[in-house]
Amino acid sequence: MDKIGVVIKSTSIYHYIFKPFRGVDLDVGSFVATEIDGIRVVSRVTAIRHRNATADPRLIAQLDEEATVREVKETLGIEEALFYTEAKAAILGARLGGRIYRPQKPVKPFTYVYKTTTEELKQFFAPPQEGTYITVGHIKGTDIPAYINAERLVTHHCAILASTGAGKSWLAGVIIERLALLDVPIIVVDPHGEYSAMSVPATEEGRAVAERVRIYVAGKVDVSPQDEAFARRYGRQRTYTRVGVNPRSIPLRTLEKLLDMLYTLTDAQKRILEEGWQAATSYGEKQPLTTVEELIREILDGGRHAAPPGYAGEMAMRGLEGRLRSLFYSSPIFLTKYGDTYQGEPIKLVDPAAYLTTPAVHIFDISGLEGLDQQIFLTVLLDQLYRTATKRRNLATLIVIEEAHNYAPAASTALAKTHIAKIAREGRKFGLGLCLITQRPARLDQDVASQAMTQIFKRMINPHDLKYVATVAEHLDDPRPLRTLDETEAVVTGLSVPAPLLITVDKRWTNHGGTTPTLKR
């Protein structure tokens, strides 16, 4: 076996420093092996430094002019003679059967460092026998596929964290494509309308994925600009189903919060609403869709007994009636009557049972909605998905949420946050998994983020985000190298991979909707 260096310092059970022998060509990211207690462990080079043994501060203080530097280099000849390279390596572990063993002892100084063979790396990164795996890329610098445990990725939640333009939605698309062919139902919350492009195949495999794509446009909103852009780019019409929300299916707490936030509610109005809402929604799981007027009448009739006596009660009732009417008629996400349409297009009701049981990629284009309407829509969708999932047998389902920091923000409140947090905490029991995508990791609610057992990092530049990542990323020893990743690279860490993987992300099978504009046409 090729000896390529020797350990000179052992800084912890995670890292060591070694001196490569003369003529050995190493790059950051190269794989090497060493021995701990007689077990050969694979490591990855994370840093390379060139040093010169004579370059101490007393000599450096003399390097004021070119002439002096030349003299030092040429006359004394120390540039080459006392030059050396040292490399830092992170220990990945040893493959023992189906598991990766990480020694709990540091490597001893003067242990040899070896070159790894392709066969050895293949075995190291091979998936264990059991489980279902997807590959979303290759181990960087090799053609070894990067296997990710699909069950763990889906049901134990994942997060894709990176700066803008770092290739987040490309990678999310790759993950969705691979899972779609395993018949996993996938629900995508798409605030930029970019995932519709997945309905257009880019390769042969992409055909099967594209056939599974269902696009839904949320609410009574004009999406002709999105449709025109799609037709221009792909030379065909985008086909979608328009969906809306039955006002009767909105959770009481959400309705109360919304009305209070938009118009404020008095205590009396809250009491009437609480009582009235129970009466109006006591139909069980399938709330009938009647007119908004009928719903409001049922709420007021059902809550009347909770109103204060006399004129004050009458005023509270009237105030509540006006507020309910304003909300249900002004927000485009609500159907206001049975058979409601928008510009002649029928609007279907959100159908959580179908999304949870149909192995398809259900893409919700909410790009036509204002921020608050997006929040209401997402709240209702997640609430219905969760409630439906708890009551029936479903296929494990992945819910992909783009711009997750807007819906589950760290410092502020957002309507959808409690529902995201609930699925993050409890969803696993019912087969519901989240894939949270954000360009501002530090702004994502920490409780929610901490439930993502697979964390995928891409290029990250913002110092606040890097600092944040250093504190939360259990499996990432040092987040600084994330600054230098290009948009095709990612670091996958956590429960669904045997060891942190630095990967080159694969090509897409379907089209990628997000484009970075160029200055030239």
Site residues for ligand ATP per CB under 6 A: 162, 164-170, 439, 487-488, 505, 512, 514-516
User: 26: Cβ–Cβ under 8 A, 6 or more apart, which residues?
Assistant: 4, 20, 32, 45, 48, 85, 87
The least distance separating ligand ATP from the CB of residue 489, rounded to whole angstroms, comes to 8
CA–CA distance, 468 with 33 (Å, rounded to integer): 31
Nearest residue to 369 (alpha-carbon basis) of 360, 381, 361: 381
Question: For residue 495, how many other CB atoms are within 10 A of its CB?
Answer: 16
Enter the tokens of residue 518. Answer: 């160029």
Query: 156 or 168: whose CB is closer to ligand ATP?
Result: 168
Based on CB atoms, which residue is closest to ligand ATP, 376 or 497? 497
| Strand partners of residue 78 | none
CB 112 within 8 A of CB 16: no
Nearest distance, CB of residue 396 and ligand ATP, angstroms? 25
In whole angstroms, what is the distance from residue 288 CA to residue 245 CA? 12
In the complex, the smallest distance separating the C-beta of residue 385 from ligand ATP, rounded to whole angstroms, is 24
- Quote the least distance from Cβ 299 to ligand ATP, whole Å: 41
**According to DSSP H, which parts of 289-412 are helical?**
292-303, 310-330, 352-357, 371-391, 404-407
CB atoms within 10 A of CB 472: 18
Return the exposure string of 473-486: e unless at least 16 CB atoms fall within 10 Å of the residue's CB, then b: beebbebebbeebe
Shortest separation between residue 367's beta carbon and ligand ATP, angstroms: 12
Distances (CA, A) of 286 to 4, 112, 349: 69, 68, 11
Torsion sign, CA atoms 38, 43, 46, 51: positive
Q: Least distance (Å) from ligand ATP to the CB of residue 185?
A: 23
> Are 440 and 474 contacting, i.e. CB atoms less than 8 angstroms apart?
no
CB 198 → ligand ATP: shortest distance, Å?
13
Q: What is the spatial distance between Cα 433 and Cα 12, in angstroms, rounded to a whole number?
A: 35
What is the spatial distance between Cα 290 and Cα 422, in angstroms, rounded to a whole number? Answer: 30
CB-wise, 358 or 488, nearer to ligand ATP? 488
Closest distance to ligand ATP from the beta carbon of 477 (Å): 24
Query: Of 85 and 488, which has the nearer Cβ to ligand ATP?
Result: 488
**Distance of closest approach, residue 363 Cβ to ligand ATP, in angstroms:** 15
Q: Which amino acid is at 151?
A: E
**Shortest distance, CB of residue 520 to ligand ATP, whole angstroms?**
15
Q: Which is nearer to ligand ATP, 445 or 489 (CB)?
A: 489
CB closer to ligand ATP out of 357 and 488:
488
Query: Is the CB of 167 or the CB of 193 nearer to ligand ATP?
Result: 167
Least separation, in Å, of the C-beta of 186 and ligand ATP? 17
Q: Tell whether the torsion through CA atoms of 307, 372, 464 and 47 is positive or negative.
A: positive
Q: Which amino acid is at 272?
A: I
Judged by CB, which is closer to ligand ATP: 100, or 174?
A: 174
3-state class (DSSP) for residue 427: helix
36/466 with CB nearer ligand ATP: 466
Query: For ligand ATP, which is the closer residue by CB, 292 or 361?
Result: 361
- CB closer to ligand ATP out of 89 and 490: 490
Q: At what angle do helices 267-280 and 252-263 cross, to 10 degrees?
A: 150
Q: Cβ 415 to ligand ATP, closest distance in Å?
A: 23
Euclidean distance between CA atoms 73 and 121, whole angstroms: 41
Q: Which is nearer to ligand ATP, 167 or 332 (CB)?
A: 167
| Closest approach of ligand ATP to the CB of residue 113, in Å | 31
Gyration radius of the chain's alpha carbons: 29
Choose between 89 and 159: whose C-beta lies nearer to ligand ATP.
Answer: 159
Pairing status of strand 213-218 against strand 241-244: parallel
The candidate with the shortest Cα–Cα distance to 147, out of 138, 159, 160, is 138
Task: Please give the Cα distance from 7 to 475 (Å, whole number).
Answer: 24
For the stretch 214-223, what's the b/e string if a residue is b when 16 or more beta carbons lie within 10 angstroms of its beta carbon? Answer: bbbbbbbbeb
Q: Is 158 helix (H, G, I), strand (E, B) or coil?
A: strand
